[in-house]
């Protein structure tokens, strides 16, 4: 068995329990003549990750002797597999001298045995601990004690939700990450749809997984031939999901969710003549508010939370901040009143603004927007169906490049818009804000997603844009006129 050698100062192990002598007089002339002794509080240690934070064992020792020299005594503790003569041991070196105990937690001792000494998980092994007391000018004093230990394989440090009930569906590459709170314990809060789910431990791999054991608990699955029973979510709602892999339990608790502090946000500034222009709340993430603006006047701007009120506003981090400055501060009163400032050379241009109002993580993302020069109808409701390479083109307005129109016959079926006809279907899409949304004949919000643009993905903290595929459903065939405004992100699909 290959062993790994490692030095580690006890002073650098705050989580390990260290016992110190109450005598702080290092220059005590006589430490006595009692021989050095090393003892263990246990002779057989069975490590269990459920007790990961508890003391595994304590190795304690007497001071030994300095033979009245007045010199300090320092200690070196080594652990090795029995019979190896400490040739390649795990060494703990004490630089503070007055330490007479080493008490690792279950988690720490298991890590040392498996990662540093090379013991296999689940193996019971005999170990020797050797203490060496060193005094300048004297021969080293040595004491030894033996014990056995049984190791374990730690459960995963990552866990993901996967399934048609989860935000990112059955894609193992885009599975929804849970938050690890301690060994084997994970939590997540968010919206679940009616459907099924299970848990995987690694992105990109369906195995190993934790499945339903048939009684509402967890079972560890490592082979495709094993039962693949999943957890069923019967009602779409916001849930708090708590998983304990050490005790193989899972709890789904309906919750009201985490609501944004405000449901309306307004752009206010020189461009709006200091009137309050309402932004659109994102259909996927209620903490995000969006607006597209062609800036002519430029100048100052900030964001209000109530129409006409100059209190409780989201403001720039400093006066005359550039529009590229994403930092945001929320001001309850009137002052201070710093604002972003769009320079004269930055006007007569279109911008898209995304304001994230997550408390403590606010940010303002403002980017120059260049209109797409092409737009296509895609779907079985359109003349050319799902043939992306032969998708039906729309006509760009000569007066406003953000606007595209089309008139013609639509079948019953699905419809969305492609701005680039990217052959792998991972390009820029203008789609419905939810599945099977019905055209109303009046302006409706659209969801713009560029699946190949990291800047689009970074705006969403908990949603994978690559899995989104919402479409309008045309229920009545006939002649229609469609007007799409890509800057305002709205569409009108009206039957003639």
Among candidate residues 327, 273, 280, 277, the one with its CA nearest the CA of residue 300: 273
Contact between 311 and 304 under an 8 Å Cβ cutoff? The reply is: no
Q: What is the C-alpha separation between 238 and 253, in angstroms, rounded?
A: 8
If residue 110 lies in a helix (H) or strand (E), which one and from where to where? helix 106-111
Query: Residue 182 gets which letter from DSSP?
Result: E
| Integer angstrom CA distances of residue 417 from 386, 404, 440, 494 | 11, 11, 17, 16
CA distance 54 to 105: 5
Structure confidence at residue 192 (pLDDT): 87
pLDDT score, position 16 = 41
Check residue 168 and give its pLDDT: 82
Other Cβ atoms less than 10 A from the Cβ of 307: the count is 12
> Residue 329 and residue 313: Cα distance in Å, rounded?
8
Q: Does the global pTM surpass 0.85?
A: no
Point out the residues of the chain with pLDDT beneath 50: 1-28, 95-96
DSSP 403: E
Residue 131, judged by CB atoms within 10 A of its CB (0-12, 13-18, 19+), counts as buried
Alpha carbon separation from 303 to 1, 56, 198, 343, 493 (Å, rounded) = 65, 56, 41, 18, 31
What pLDDT does 1 receive? 39
pLDDT at 5: 41
Cα 382 to Cα 473: distance, rounded to the nearest angstrom: 11
351, 356, 363: which is closest to 298 by C-alpha?
A: 351
Decide: residue 496, CB within 10 A, 0-12 exposed, 13-18 middle, 19+ buried. Answer: exposed
What does DSSP assign to residue 370?
P
Angle at 182 between CA 209 and CA 198, to 5 degrees: 20
Preceding peptide of 92 cis, ω within 30°? no
**Cα 469 from chain centroid (whole Å):** 23
- Predicted local confidence at residue 26, as pLDDT: 40
Identify which of 321, 341, 318, 322 has the alpha carbon closest to the alpha carbon of residue 331.
318
Q: Which pLDDT value is given to residue 465?
A: 84
Q: What is the distance between the alpha carbons of residues 481 and 332, in angstroms, rounded to a whole number?
A: 46
* Dihedral class, residue 399 (left if φ above 0, else alpha if ψ from -120 to 50, else beta): alpha
φ and ψ of 345, to 5 deg: -75, -5
pLDDT digits (tens, 9 = 90+) for 362-410: 999 999 999 999 999 999 999 999 999 999 999 999 999 999 999 999 9
């Amino acid at each position: 068995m290959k062993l790994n050698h490692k030095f580690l100062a006890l002073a650098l192990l705050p989580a390990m329990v260290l016992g110190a002598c109450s005598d702080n007089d290092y220059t005590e002339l006589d430490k006595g003549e009692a021989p050095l002794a090393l003892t263990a509080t246990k002779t057989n240690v069975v490590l269990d990750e459920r007790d990961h934070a508890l003391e595994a064992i304590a190795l304690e020792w007497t001071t030994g002797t300095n033979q009245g020299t007045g010199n300090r005594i320092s200690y070196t503790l080594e652990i090795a597999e029995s019979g190896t003569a400490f040739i390649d041991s795990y060494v703990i070196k004490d630089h503070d001298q007055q330490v007479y105990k080493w008490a690792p937690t279950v988690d720490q001792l298991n890590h040392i045995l498996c990662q540093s000494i090379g013991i296999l998980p689940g193996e019971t092994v005999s170990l020797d601990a050797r203490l060496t007391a060193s005094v300048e000018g004297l021969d080293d004093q040595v004491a030894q004690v033996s014990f056995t230990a049984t190791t374990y394989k730690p459960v995963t440090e990552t866990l993901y939700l996967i399934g048609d009930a989860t935000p990112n569906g059955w894609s193992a590459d885009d599975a929804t990450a849970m938050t690890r709170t301690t060994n084997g314990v994970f939590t997540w809060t968010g919206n679940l749809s009616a459907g099924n789910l299970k848990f995987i431990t690694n992105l990109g791999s369906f195995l190993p997984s934790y499945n339903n054991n048939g009684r509402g608990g967890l079972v560890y699955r490592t082979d495709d031939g094993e039962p693949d029973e999943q957890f069923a979510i019967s009602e779409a709602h916001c849930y708090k999901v708590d998983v304990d892999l050490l005790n193989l339990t899972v709890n789904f608790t309906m919750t009201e969710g985490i609501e944004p502090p405000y449901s309306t946000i307004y752009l206010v500034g020189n461009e709006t003549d200091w009137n309050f222009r309402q932004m659109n709340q994102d259909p996927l993430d209620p903490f995000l508010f969006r607006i597209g603006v062609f800036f002519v006047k430029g100048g100052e701007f900030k964001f209000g939370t109530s129409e006409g009120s100059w209190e409780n506003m989201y403001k720039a981090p400093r006066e005359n901040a550039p529009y590229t400055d994403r930092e945001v501060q929320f001001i309850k009163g009137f002052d201070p009143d710093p604002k972003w400032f769009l320079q004269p050379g930055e006007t007569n241009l279109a911008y898209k603004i995304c304001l994230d109002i997550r408390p403590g993580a606010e940010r303002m993302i403002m980017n120059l927007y260049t209109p797409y020069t092409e737009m296509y109808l895609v779907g079985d409701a359109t003349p050319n169906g799902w043939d992306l390479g032969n998708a039906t083109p729309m006509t760009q307005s000569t007066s406003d490049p953000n606007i595209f129109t089309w008139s013609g016959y639509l079948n019953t079926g699905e419809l969305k818009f492609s701005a680039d006809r990217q052959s792998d279907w991972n390009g820029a899409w203008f789609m419905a804000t939810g599945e099977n949304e019905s055209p109303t004949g009046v302006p409706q919000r659209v969801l713009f997603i560029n699946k190949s643009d990291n800047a689009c993905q970074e705006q969403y903290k908990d949603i994978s844009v690559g899995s989104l595929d919402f479409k309008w459903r045309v229920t009545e065939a006939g002649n229609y006129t469609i007007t799409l405004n890509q800057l305002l992100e709205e569409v009108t699909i009206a039957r003639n």
